[in-house]
Chains A and B, each alone.
Chain A
Amino acid sequence: MLESVIPKIKDWPINLIAKKRDKILQETISETVLEFNKSFSNLTAVRNQLQKTLYLEHIRLRSEPWEVDPEDEREFWNSVKRRLLEADPSQMDEDISKERHQEILQDIVYRYTNEIIGDFKPYIFWLTRQILVRFFARLLNAHFGGFKGLFNPGEKLKDKLIVAGPVDKLRDLATKGTVILVPTHFSNMDSIIIGFGMDYIGMPAFQYGAGLNLFNSKFFSFFMGKLGAYKLDRRKKNGVYLETLKSFSKTNILAGAHTIFFPGGTRSRAGNIEDELKLGLLGTVMAAQRIHYEKNPSNLAPKIFIVPLTISYHFVLEASSLIEEHLKRTGKEQYLSQEKGTTAGKGIGKFFWETFSKSTDITLSLGEPMDVFGNTLDSDGNSLDKFGNAVAIRNYFTNKGQLKEDTQREMIYTQMLGDKIIEQFFKNNVVYASHVVAFVAFELLKKKLDYPDLFTLLRTSDEDREIEWDTFKIAVKHVIDELYILNNKSKIKLAPHMTTKELEEIIELGINNVCIYHTNLPILRNKAGNITSEDLKVLYFYHNRMLGYGLEKRI
């Protein structure tokens, strides 16, 4: 493990911010109310929005109640309903009605903010780290044997959880500004693994948003908040909640909280690398950078750094449920979910066991850190253009020398930032043998069967799924050749085993690794030595990871 950039946990930004909980709470509330009133400037609009919020919350309470919901939830919304009825502007003086509406808004925002905000605790963080390190050490020992690993788990761990890319620069930047880590998202394990990986390279803890559903379990709930998680409730899609979430994010970033955003919004259902991002929260990063410059008239305002991260696994814990959801969503009536072919995962424990006890690994591939406009940075956090000239990014927010908010402008800047992040996701994707074999097998089947649509293909009977070994081997070779070309052009990265092993070894490693975790094997060699699949959907999921590089043309 690398030495921590900031040695004492109590000095970490996340802890300093946790100590200012009430201030963050108050700032989030006033910011939300301010922004809300900017968007809805008259009483009718405010009332409409509050009524809409109430309506949506009632539906949520009825159709999707969760364990984690507070006991007085129904009571609270009933009181909002009563108060809205009482504040009817047709029944009272308009100014008083306005005031009442603002009070209701404040109360809703207060409730939301209280729910969202995390509760970082240094000693819990320290304790969890000790437990995790020992847990991983035990897993490693199971494989490598002996006592050595127990005393020096870091040595073996670095082969299992690889943090690749500009680690030193990231460490430098951690004390020069606010780091926003934007990873690809395939699995619920991502937060834990990234959190561990970042701790491993000595980064102070990041704040991250975790789905409120994960807090349904009291055990998880206790740890998550104290490790830096704040809560996101995806059921709540009303304007007030989304505005609160954005203000919370903005307030924390302005306060200097290193933050993890999954810019894809949710896990990638299809298994592909995200090529479309949710820009709402990313927009708060842009706004926060502008506000820093508004508050600090010089170019020396605090800076925000964006660091994309592509995660590579051989296998994904939730592969079959994710692809199932994706196919249901995209296929609609064309897709009939079948009992056969959907394989349940083996559980979280098994996931870690398989990852750390077998010859498999996880790579966290860091992209080049950039400012919010996508410019590269030197190790002091200064922005540079592609020729190495300094760029005074403050002036991206000015027009004829005047710095002021322009939401349309910032929206476009955010889109541009999104494009840069996607570009980095693809460039820093580390290709594993398992990705290649899944891609090639599925593409060959698609070509061989030549069905008009995906859903027919996924229903192909077992006997039609066979691909001749030689055909498969040649296609893998062609794809690897193309990957070398892309790698030379810095458009993709290759795991070390892709360059050091022979073709047949790569294939074997790939097949074994995709299959470690799944009960129905997505890809296997049958008795005749040919390639086939017991689960085409999961094969399709893993295949999708290699989309976006034009590799299809080499099949």
Chain B
Amino acid sequence: MGLKNAYNKAPVAVIGAGSFGTVVANLLAENGEVLLYSRRPEAVELINKERVNNGQKLHPNITATNDMQEVAARCYLLFPSVSSDSFRALMRSMSQYLAPDHMMIHCTKGFDIQLEPGKTILDKDVVLLPSDIYTMSKVILEETCVKRVGCMSGPNLAREIADQHPAATVIASKFDEVIKEGEAAIRSKRLQVYSNHDIYAVELAGVLKNSMALAAGALGGLGYGQNAMAFLITRGIGEIIRLATAMGADKQAFLGLAGIGDLVATCTSPLSRNYTVGARLAKGETLEHILATSSEIAEGIKTVSISKKLADSTGTKTPIIQVIYKVLFEGLKAEQALSYLMEYRWGYDADYI
């Protein structure tokens, strides 16, 4: 750990140089030195030479690196920002370099599940219980010796932040010091930061909203307007809260920035990946075709399949998730899905508070 102490102010690290990772790196760079880790050496070289990544210009305070050991030795505070599919493997490979004085604030809105070998989430006989589902903070705790864990979540569309639009985010952690360090590192004139101790709820809010973003994209793809969107958002937050409650979370965080805030942003912006997938489905493209022609993974597809299984195993009422699942994996047309929802007997409004 000597390296870290050799610097008056240790740099902050971002792990993962995807589009959101780059956004986070640029935000952090406004307050100090940043190491941006990419697992691909050629990407590192390009970033350091061209000073551009994912279409975003890089702040001069950013240095890209491929050396995980260096990152761990020089930084106390790390922001992992990779897809949920590669998150666990990344943590495993990093764990040998990590130490108890590291803090991690992840930015990944996805779930991790560990299935038996040969099984996929779509198999009929796979039953998912809340205890089978890991948020990224749980993956960190399980795979590394790091205890001081947090997450950053909220209505933070990468494109808008890259374009210097103002935004607000939530840093959630059980530890006051993680919130404090995270806020000091990332707060700026263009990013307002709120805190929350309920990291589990904030993580769930960030992930579960992905399903609704797909549905919103489908509504947009079908050409419907704001009445339909408001209908989806309010009923959507209800489903999210019910499912999160079944997973053992408290409700409060869902009414804040990381819950309803993120849901509104992601459902009303054609910029999000999940929204785009939904819109393309509504226009008649198949999931296989969409997946084959997308450069980055839409977490929503995985979220829908996990949420559906979870709703089944916990007996939670989630009509929207059920129909999106059918559209994604069982060939139901988006129009049919919508008419199903229009005929569904919803009952009492705001029954989830």
Interface residues of A (CB under 8 A from B): 373, 375, 385-387, 389, 391-396, 398-401, 406, 408-409, 412-413, 415-416, 550
Chain A residues closer than 8 Å to B176, beta-carbon distance: 406, 408-409
Query: Of B95, B101, B144, B174, which is within 8 A of A412 by CB?
Result: B174
User: Contact: A409 with B101, CB < 8 Å?
Assistant: no
User: Contact: B145 with A385, CB < 8 Å?
Assistant: yes
User: Contact: A400 with B76, CB < 8 Å?
Assistant: yes
The residue in chain A whose Cβ has the minimal distance to the Cβ of B127 is A553
- CB proximity to A under 8 Å, residues B72-91: 76
- CB proximity to A under 8 Å, residues B86-130: 92, 95-96, 99-101, 129
7 A-B pairs in the complex with CB atoms less than 8 angstroms apart = A386-B143, A387-B96, A391-B100, A391-B145, A408-B176, A409-B175, A413-B147
User: Contact: B100 with A395, CB < 8 Å?
Assistant: yes
User: Contact: A401 with B95, CB < 8 Å?
Assistant: no
User: Contact: B1 with A412, CB < 8 Å?
Assistant: no
**Given A385-B145, A409-B176, list of 4 further CB < 8 A pairs?**
A385-B95, A392-B100, A401-B4, A408-B177
Please list the 10 inter-chain residue pairs (A to B) with the smallest Cβ-Cβ separation, ordered nearest first: A395-B101, A395-B100, A396-B100, A412-B174, A385-B145, A408-B176, A391-B145, A401-B5, A398-B101, A412-B175
User: Contact: B175 with A401, CB < 8 Å?
Assistant: no
Chain A residues closer than 8 Å to B76, beta-carbon distance: 400
Chain B residues closer than 8 Å to A393, beta-carbon distance: 100
Distance between Cα atoms of A399 and B148 in the complex (Å): 11
User: Contact: B99 with A395, CB < 8 Å?
Assistant: yes
Chain B residues closer than 8 Å to A395, beta-carbon distance: 1, 99-101
Chain B residues closer than 8 Å to A400, beta-carbon distance: 4-5, 10, 76, 101
- Which of B5, B100, B129 gathers the greatest number of chain A CB atoms within 10 Å? B100
Distance between Cα atoms of A412 and B179 in the complex (Å): 14
Chain B residues closer than 8 Å to A392, beta-carbon distance: 99-100
The residue in chain B whose Cβ has the minimal distance to the Cβ of A416 is B147
- Which of A394, A412, A415 gathers the greatest number of chain B CB atoms within 10 Å? A412
Chain B residues closer than 8 Å to A375, beta-carbon distance: 145
- Taking chain B's interface residues, is the majority helix, strand, or loop, or is none over half, making it mixed? loop
**Min C-beta distance of A117 to chain B, whole Å:** 34
User: Contact: B1 with A396, CB < 8 Å?
Assistant: no
| A550 with B101, Cβ < 8 A, contacts A391-B145, A401-B1, A409-B175 known | no
Chain A residues closer than 8 Å to B174, beta-carbon distance: 412, 415
**Min C-beta distance of B229 to chain A, whole Å:** 39
The residue in chain A whose Cβ has the minimal distance to the Cβ of B9 is A400
Distance between Cα atoms of A408 and B177 in the complex (Å): 9
Query: Of B4, B95, B177, which is within 8 A of A409 by CB?
Result: B177
| A396 with B147, Cβ < 8 A, contacts A387-B96, A409-B175, A412-B175 known | yes
Chain B residues closer than 8 Å to A412, beta-carbon distance: 174-175
Distance between Cα atoms of A80 and B76 in the complex (Å): 51
**Min C-beta distance of A417 to chain B, whole Å:** 10
User: Contact: B99 with A385, CB < 8 Å?
Assistant: no
Distance between Cα atoms of A415 and B76 in the complex (Å): 23
**Min C-beta distance of B200 to chain A, whole Å:** 12
**Min C-beta distance of A89 to chain B, whole Å:** 34
Distance between Cα atoms of A395 and B72 in the complex (Å): 14
Distance between Cα atoms of A385 and B94 in the complex (Å): 13
User: Contact: A550 with B4, CB < 8 Å?
Assistant: no
- CB proximity to A under 8 Å, residues B4-52: 4-5, 10
The residue in chain A whose Cβ has the minimal distance to the Cβ of B143 is A386
Distance between Cα atoms of A401 and B76 in the complex (Å): 10
Distance between Cα atoms of A387 and B76 in the complex (Å): 21
Distance between Cα atoms of A399 and B147 in the complex (Å): 13
Chain B 142-165 interface mask (CB, 8 Å, partner A; 1/0): 111101100000000000000000
| A373 with B147, Cβ < 8 A, contacts A399-B177, A400-B10, A412-B175 known | yes
Chain B residues closer than 8 Å to A398, beta-carbon distance: 101
Chain A residues closer than 8 Å to B96, beta-carbon distance: 387, 389
The residue in chain B whose Cβ has the minimal distance to the Cβ of A398 is B101
Distance between Cα atoms of A192 and B174 in the complex (Å): 38
Chain B residues closer than 8 Å to A391, beta-carbon distance: 99-100, 145
- CB proximity to A under 8 Å, residues B153-191: 174-177, 181
The residue in chain B whose Cβ has the minimal distance to the Cβ of A399 is B177
User: Contact: B147 with A406, CB < 8 Å?
Assistant: no
| A408 with B1, Cβ < 8 A, contacts A395-B101, A401-B101 known | no
**Min C-beta distance of A304 to chain B, whole Å:** 16
Distance between Cα atoms of A389 and B95 in the complex (Å): 9
Chain A residues closer than 8 Å to B129, beta-carbon distance: 550
Chain B residues closer than 8 Å to A413, beta-carbon distance: 147
Chain A residues closer than 8 Å to B175, beta-carbon distance: 408-409, 412
Chain A residues closer than 8 Å to B181, beta-carbon distance: 399
Query: Of B4, B100, B142, B177, which is within 8 A of A406 by CB?
Result: B177
Distance between Cα atoms of A416 and B181 in the complex (Å): 21
Distance between Cα atoms of A389 and B98 in the complex (Å): 10
Query: Of B95, B99, B100, which is within 8 A of A387 by CB?
Result: B95
The residue in chain B whose Cβ has the minimal distance to the Cβ of A391 is B145
Distance between Cα atoms of A199 and B10 in the complex (Å): 51
Distance between Cα atoms of A398 and B147 in the complex (Å): 12
User: Contact: A396 with B101, CB < 8 Å?
Assistant: yes
Distance between Cα atoms of A398 and B177 in the complex (Å): 11
Distance between Cα atoms of A387 and B98 in the complex (Å): 12
Chain A residues closer than 8 Å to B10, beta-carbon distance: 400
Chain B residues closer than 8 Å to A399, beta-carbon distance: 101, 177, 181
